[in-house]
Protein backbone atom coordinates (compact mmCIF):
# COMPACT_ATOMS: atom_id res chain seq x y z
CA UNK A 1 0.00 0.00 0.00
CA UNK A 2 2.84 2.43 0.77
CA UNK A 3 4.39 1.70 -2.62
CA UNK A 4 1.09 2.47 -4.33
CA UNK A 5 0.77 5.76 -2.43
CA UNK A 6 4.34 6.69 -3.37
CA UNK A 7 3.71 5.94 -7.06
CA UNK A 8 0.45 7.91 -6.92
CA UNK A 9 2.25 10.89 -5.35
CA UNK A 10 4.95 10.80 -8.05
CA UNK A 11 2.36 10.63 -10.83
CA UNK A 12 0.34 13.47 -9.29
CA UNK A 13 3.42 15.67 -8.94
CA UNK A 14 4.50 14.89 -12.52
CA UNK A 15 1.04 15.70 -13.90
CA UNK A 16 0.95 18.95 -11.91
CA UNK A 17 4.39 19.97 -13.24
CA UNK A 18 3.28 19.09 -16.78
CA UNK A 19 0.11 21.19 -16.40
CA UNK A 20 2.08 24.18 -15.09
CA UNK A 21 4.65 23.85 -17.88
CA UNK A 22 1.87 23.65 -20.47
CA UNK A 23 0.26 26.80 -19.10
CA UNK A 24 3.58 28.68 -19.15
CA UNK A 25 4.32 27.56 -22.71
CA UNK A 26 0.81 28.55 -23.84
CA UNK A 27 1.11 32.03 -22.28
CA UNK A 28 4.59 32.45 -23.76
CA UNK A 29 3.33 31.44 -27.23
CA UNK A 30 0.38 33.84 -27.07
CA UNK A 31 2.67 36.70 -26.03
CA UNK A 32 5.15 35.86 -28.76
CA UNK A 33 2.39 35.86 -31.38
CA UNK A 34 1.13 39.18 -30.00
CA UNK A 35 4.55 40.82 -30.24
CA UNK A 36 5.65 39.16 -33.48
CA UNK A 37 2.72 38.77 -35.87
CA UNK A 38 4.65 36.91 -38.55
CA UNK A 39 2.49 33.85 -39.08
pLDDT category at 34 given cuts 50, 70, 90 is confident
What per-residue confidence (pLDDT) applies to 11? 96
Q: Give yes or no for residue 6 having a pLDDT over 90.
A: yes
38 DSSP assignment: -
Q: Give yes or no for residue 32 having a pLDDT over 90.
A: no
pLDDT category at 31 given cuts 50, 70, 90 is confident
Please tell me the chain's helix, strand, coil percentages from 3-state DSSP, rounded to the nearest 5.
Answer: 85, 0, 15
CA distance linking residue 25 with residue 13, whole number of Å? 18
Q: Give the residue-averaged pLDDT of 18-33.
A: 89
Amino acid sequence: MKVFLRIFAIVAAFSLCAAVAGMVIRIFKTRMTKYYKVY
